[in-house]
């Protein structure tokens, strides 16, 4: 399923997306095309789905195409083959080999190698899709899992919190799974009190993004952070 937007380009180099003017840098037609297309890509990423575009040129010609969350421009018939997976629950074919390599390293006792592979994969994903794409948050969760396997629950908690923030910005239900994992890891971490307090404060902020549904967990985190602070002072 795709959503729809319109692009209108004027002869003087101005452009509009859904009636809202989008300004380029030099006022040329090429600049207007680039600026409006970039704006549509942002819309696609915000909506977490491909966007069907109807563009009108200054001479009245109209074009229909589809813009994906990756910024690809497709013919309308190609959009019917797009897999709608806004939360990236399935491993994309383009990264299946790398993800399998990370998992194989973790399963074979080469945990630190797995962490390195996951970090490298994240760099590739960010370079290809930008820093706020669902694929990025899935790989961040993979890095968190690798940290846990390496015996670093505090690091895993921090990475899951980063993923939860990202999912929240995308208004994705994947936020809840990430924040639950972070919450559980924070309770199992045995790091220095100052580090635990910092993680607790981060967890509280991320839980606030969950609204009333997260009130109970947030209250518990605040209480434990206070206890950790008092214990640190007493010691």
Round the average pLDDT of the chain to a whole number and report it.
90
In this prediction, residue 206 carries a pLDDT of 98
Same domain for 150 and 128: yes
Q: Which has more confidence, 104 or 70?
A: 104
Task: Please name the residues in contact with 10: beta carbons below 8 A apart, sequence gap of 6 or more.
Answer: 32, 58
Same domain for 229 and 130: yes
> How far is residue 217's CA from residue 164's CA, in Å, rounded to a whole number?
15
Question: Smallest Cα–Cα separation from 65: which of 139, 131, 147, 2?
Answer: 2
Please answer whether residues 64 and 76 qualify as being in contact, where contact means their C-beta atoms are separated by less than 8 angstroms. yes
Most confident range, picked from 13-27, 124-138, 172-186, 218-232: 172-186
Same domain for 102 and 68: no
Whether the pTM exceeds 0.85: the reply is: no
Q: Which has more confidence, 182 or 27?
A: 182
Query: Could you tell me if residue 87 is inside a domain?
Result: no
Same domain for 143 and 69: no
Return phi, psi of residue 65, to 5°. -155, 175
- Cα–Cα distance list, 131 to 40, 96, 154, 160, 168 (Å): 17, 20, 23, 16, 14
Average pLDDT rounded to a whole number, residues 6-29: 91
Query: Could you tell me if residue 86 is inside a domain?
Result: no
Query: Could you tell me if residue 172 is inside a domain?
Result: yes
Write down which residue in 55, 79, 103 finishes a domain: 79
What is the domain count for the chain? 2
Same domain for 66 and 26: yes
In this prediction, residue 83 carries a pLDDT of 53
Average pLDDT rounded to a whole number, residues 162-187: 94
Same domain for 209 and 154: yes
pLDDT digits (tens, 9 = 90+) for 60-74: 999 999 998 878 898
Same domain for 212 and 139: yes
In this prediction, residue 80 carries a pLDDT of 61
Q: Which has more confidence, 45 or 175?
A: 175
**CATH number of the domain encompassing residue 209:** 1.25.40.10
Query: Could you tell me if residue 88 is inside a domain?
Result: no
In this prediction, residue 1 carries a pLDDT of 46
pLDDT digits (tens, 9 = 90+) for 181-216: 999 999 988 889 999 999 999 999 999 999 999 999
Q: Residue 28's Cα: distance from chain center in Å?
A: 33
Query: Could you tell me if residue 189 is inside a domain?
Result: yes
Write down which residue in 31, 46, 79 finishes a domain: 79
Out of 126-135, 188-197, 214-223, pick the least confident. 126-135
Same domain for 67 and 108: no
pLDDT digits (tens, 9 = 90+) for 139-167: 999 999 999 999 999 999 999 999 999 99
Same domain for 127 and 57: no
pLDDT digits (tens, 9 = 90+) for 66-97: 998 878 898 887 666 555 677 788 888 889 99
Same domain for 127 and 102: yes
Same domain for 166 and 112: yes
What residue numbers bound the domain in which 223 lies?
A: 93-234
Same domain for 32 and 122: no
In this prediction, residue 203 carries a pLDDT of 98
């Amino acid at each position: 399923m795709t959503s729809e937007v319109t692009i209108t380009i004027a002869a003087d180099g101005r452009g509009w997306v859904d009636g809202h003017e989008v300004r380029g840098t030099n006022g040329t037609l090429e600049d207007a095309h680039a600026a409006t297309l970039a704006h549509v890509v942002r819309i696609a990423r915000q909506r977490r789905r491909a966007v069907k575009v109807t563009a009108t040129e200054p001479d009245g010609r109209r074009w229909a195409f589809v813009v994906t969350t990756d910024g690809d421009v497709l013919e309308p018939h190609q959009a019917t083959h797009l897999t709608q997976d806004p939360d990236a629950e399935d491993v994309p074919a383009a990264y299946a080999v790398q993800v399998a390599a990370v998992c194989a390293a973790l399963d074979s006792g080469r945990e630190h190698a797995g962490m390195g592979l996951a970090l490298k994969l994240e760099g590739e994903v960010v370079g290809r899709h930008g820093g706020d794409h669902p694929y990025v948050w899935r790989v961040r969760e993979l890095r968190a899992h690798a940290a846990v396997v390496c015996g670093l629950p505090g690091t895993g908690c921090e990475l899951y919190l980063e993923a939860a923030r990202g999912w929240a910005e995308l208004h994705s239900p994947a936020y809840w799974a990430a924040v639950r994992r972070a919450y559980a890891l924070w309770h199992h971490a045995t790091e220095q009190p100052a580090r635990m307090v910092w993680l607790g404060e981060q967890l509280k902020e991320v839980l606030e993004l969950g609204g009333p549904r997260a009130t109970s967990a947030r209250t518990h985190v605040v209480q434990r952070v206070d206890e950790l602070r008092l214990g640190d002072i007493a010691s």
